[in-house]
Structure formats: C-alpha cells, structure tokens
Amino acid sequence: MLIKYKCMNWGKWIIVSFILFAAFIGTLVTICMRQSISLVSKDYYKEELKYQQQIKRLQNTNDLIQKPEIYVDKNGLQIEYVELSKIEKGELMLFCPSNPSNDRKIIIHASSQDKQHVPIDNMQAGMYHAKFSWSVDGKEFYVEKIINL
C-alpha cells in the first residue's frame, strides 16, 4: 500500500527564499547608502591648521632645556618652571575623563618665583589630565601630564 503524501514543490520555496534574501540585501544596501559617514569634517582646513599649531607647540616644548613640572604635594597642585616670570599668558586645564563636571580651567600669570600654587581643595579626588599651555616671547608651548588628586 502506497501512501501518497502531498509533496511540496521545493523548487517554488527555494525561489521564494532567494527573492526574500535579495529583498533583504537590497534593503540593507539602501539603508547603508543613505547613512552619512563623513571622515572629513566640514572645516577640514581650520582643524588641520589647529592640529599643525599643536604639533608646533609640542615641538617648541621638546626644544626646551628645562620643561615645566606639574605635580601634587600636600599643599595642592604645583607648577614648577624656571621661566615662570616670562610667561605672557598661560592656561592650565584640568580635564577629568570620568566626570566632565570636574573639569577646571585655571589662568596662570607670570610670577617672580619658579613655582606657582594652584588650590585644589574643592576638587573631587580622581585622575586628571593636566594640560598646560603658555606663551613666552610670542612662542607657544604645551605640556600634558596625568595627575591623581
């Protein structure tokens, strides 16, 4: 006794699956093509000039015989630099990667001493990137150091 099964037409379902797969790939390609992935910013030349200026600042700092030291002691944050009296303008940025609300910007002025004290009493403990930029005789300099408060 032969039992007849209703046979499915496998060929039809293979073709349907290929068509659905092609539609899926076509949809993905369409979505991907509509995404704006710009590796170059709109102000590319301005940003390139800023980056070139930063490279120049770092090169100027590397050319110094004595570089500034930034460290934490029992009194707070200290900046030690032999040419502190010649600084025309200076800025110390304390950048906290874990909490941007802890970031601080401190203006550094010329001082007759080789050290300058920065109070840190009201700052949260943690890791900070101390970014010190200054200019002497029209030349700009930059140094960065990781400190822990």
Give residue limits of the domains in the chain.
64-148
The total number of residues written for the chain in this structure: 149
The answer to whether 79 touches 70, Cβ cutoff 8 Å, is: yes
Q: Which two tokens stand for residue 91?
A: 């800025």
The phi, psi pair for 67, rounded to 5°, reads -90, 155
The answer to whether 45 touches 121, Cβ cutoff 8 Å, is: no
Q: Which two tokens stand for residue 45?
A: 């030349």
pLDDT at residue 62 in the model: 92
Q: Name the pTM for this structure.
A: 0.66
Match 């076509």 to its residue by tokens. 26
pLDDT at residue 2 in the model: 54
CATH class of the domain at 64-148: mainly beta
Per-residue pLDDT of the chain (149 residues; tens, 9 = 90+): 555 555 557 778 889 999 999 999 999 999 988 887 666 667 777 777 788 888 999 999 899 888 889 988 887 888 888 888 888 888 999 888 888 888 888 888 887 888 888 888 788 888 899 999 999 888 999 999 999 88
